[in-house]
Amino acid sequence: MQRVLSFSGQTSKPDHFADALPNYVESQHHQCVQCSLPFPAEPWMSGDVRSDVKVQVFSNRLKGGPGEPKRNVCGICQMQFLAEKLNYREVRGEQSIYLHLFPYSFQTRPFVSGLSRQITRIRNSDVLSGALRLKDAEEAMLKAAKTRETKLNFTTRTKENKAQPYGLSLPRYAETLGGVMTFPVNAVGENDTERFLFAMQYALLLQRHFGCKVLMSGAVTPPLDKEAFGDVYFDMAPLSGRGLIRHNDYREPRNNGNSNKNARGDDTGNLRQLWKELEYLYTIQRAVLVRNSKPLLKLVTAMADQALSVFHAAERLAEEKAGSGGDAGWVMRTIADEVRALAKSRGGYEMHELDDHLQQLAEIAWKGGLRGKTLKKNSLMAPMDEVLRKIGALGQELNDEVLRAAAAQDLYEHLTRIHDIESKRLHDACVKFVEAFFDGVFGEVYHGKLSRLLNHEKVLRSAFHFYIRQQIPRKAVTTNGKAGDNGGADEEPDDETPFQEGEDTGDLF
């Protein structure tokens, strides 16, 4: 206690470090792997820990060379791991993630006692219960993101009425709860990112529900004290999840709801931004979800690549939805606003600039009639496909001006063959589209760097597909003036020709 006990506001004494450093140097390979305090340590035994804790793992505390990589542990830490093993039901093959809940000031005795009694009641009503799992995590996350309400509904049973193995592990002995509460989460998933996203839901919802700080870590003991982080701290975000979790420390706004920087340079509103991005993600997931598709995982992984990759991932998910009986174009237009907002949130200033140019290109293409006779993808993508084909030939032999003229002329001839009609307005629209792409996208966003643009060709196509889909006009009523079968919701125009009778095409023909 004399070595480790500290109080808020107390400054550390210099002799603490002076005492610890010689012990660390002189007792090489024999310190406790958990605390490094100068206590006697013995080889760690697998019988004292849960199966997901490995006592034989290579560590910088061990000497190199041949031999058994046996780690050492002191008596205090050994008892802590043993208590955890006895306190929680073990599931074969589990990989626990720990949620450490810190009060902003302190936990009141009635709160801790009430929570202990509630856990005891659940235990007594279902003696085989092992974990609490959210009944509808998607609905809970969406509601918390939109309204900040966190009414959580848990279950201790699976659909087959067996004990729930995944979720928030329940302690066998509720008396172990105290001022700082630690709950293991047995996360379901086939990889680290999927398991991280599962546990992240519990961390964010419990932070809102209990009104406390949450530290999410792979360590059974908190690696930080509560003064060292803001509201939520992620100690273990996988690399493929870094597009969503771009910081470790997340904080609510402290300046009347406005995001700003604190004295250490931390963004004090980044937790609100995270919730907003999660709202976009779960809204998209709800629209495209099919069996075994895992849209949340695919979108988060795409965010780790680049902002434009979100469009490609969302397009593929919409096509998967269409393959199971949906309409990919209709699904894409349904989620287009959320996909665009998510990409802009991920991509920053450059993505906002590209968003403006792609919006302009989509408006030119739709109002100018730069499409085939249907509303299928290959028809709508005609102008973008043409400029991307031409720009790939940019070089010393074919300069910028030659390619602009060739792209506009070839696009015009392609469309006149399809519609069997010629028009000066159509030609002007082709020229306007090509000029806007070369000047805006290639010139201002990519700064004339051809290799970078070509590297983004696939995701640029997907992005433009979303923008052009948003240009298709919606019909709120049927031809007889009554609401359609969908209750008056907007309907997709007939998938026949962009130049139907009575349609406003900008008086091109």
DSSP codes of every residue in 425-478: HHHHHHHHHHHHIIIIIIIIISTT-HHHHHHTHHHHHHHHHHHHHHHS--BSS-
- Identify the CA nearest to 136 among candidates 121, 118, 151: 151
Edge to edge, the sheet with strand 154-155 lists 154-155, 131-134, 167-169, 181-186, 96-102, 213-217, 232-234, 249-250
DSSP codes of every residue in 365-388: HHHTT-S-SS-SHHHHTHHHHHHH
Are the C-beta atoms of 224 and 215 separated by less than 8 Å?
Answer: yes
Q: Which two tokens stand for residue 80?
A: 């802590």
* pLDDT band of 8, cuts 50, 70, 90: low
């047995």: which residue's tokens? 186
Q: Which long-range contacts (CB under 8 A, 24 or more apart) does 270-274 make?
A: 271/230, 271/231, 271/232, 273/345, 274/204, 274/244, 274/245, 274/250
Q: Which two tokens stand for residue 140?
A: 């809970």
Q: How many CB atoms are closer than 10 A to CB 310?
A: 34
**Tens of pLDDT along 229-255?**
999 999 989 999 999 999 999 998 876
What is the structure's pLDDT at 369? Answer: 93
Is residue 153 over pLDDT 90? Answer: no
Helix (H, G, I), strand (E, B) or coil at 118: helix
Cα 149 from Cα 417, distance rounded (Å): 57
Count Cα atoms within 13 angstroms, Cβ side, for 199.
33
Cα 249 from Cα 261, distance rounded (Å): 13
Burial of 334 from C-beta contacts in 10 A (0-12 / 13-18 / 19+): buried
**Tens of pLDDT along 442-499?**
999 999 999 999 999 999 999 999 999 999 987 633 344 333 334 334 444 444 444 4
Contacts of 156 (CB under 8 A, 6+ apart): 122, 126, 129, 130, 131, 132, 133, 163, 164, 170
| Average pLDDT of the residues in 100-109 | 86
Is residue 404 over pLDDT 50? Answer: yes
**Tens of pLDDT along 414-429?**
999 998 888 899 999 9
Q: Which two tokens stand for residue 494?
A: 């007939």
Contacts of 67 (CB under 8 A, 6+ apart): none
DSSP codes of every residue in 22-77: HHHHHTTTTS-TTT--SS-EEE--GGGS-TTS-SB---TTS--SSS--B-EEEHHH
What is the structure's pLDDT at 180? Answer: 83
Helix (H, G, I), strand (E, B) or coil at 254: coil
| Average pLDDT of the residues in 291-317 | 94
Helix (H, G, I), strand (E, B) or coil at 227: helix
Count of positions (residues) in the chain: 509
- Identify the CA nearest to 303 among candidates 294, 291, 315, 312: 312
Cα 185 from Cα 44, distance rounded (Å): 24
Give the torsion through C-alpha atoms of 301, 306, 307, 313, to 10 deg: -40
What is the structure's pLDDT at 478? Answer: 37
Cα 508 from Cα 429, distance rounded (Å): 9
What is the structure's pLDDT at 437? Answer: 96
Are the C-beta atoms of 337 and 276 separated by less than 8 Å?
Answer: no
Average pLDDT value for the chain: 82
Q: How many helices (H) and strands (E) does the chain have?
A: 15, 10
Single pTM value for the model: 0.81
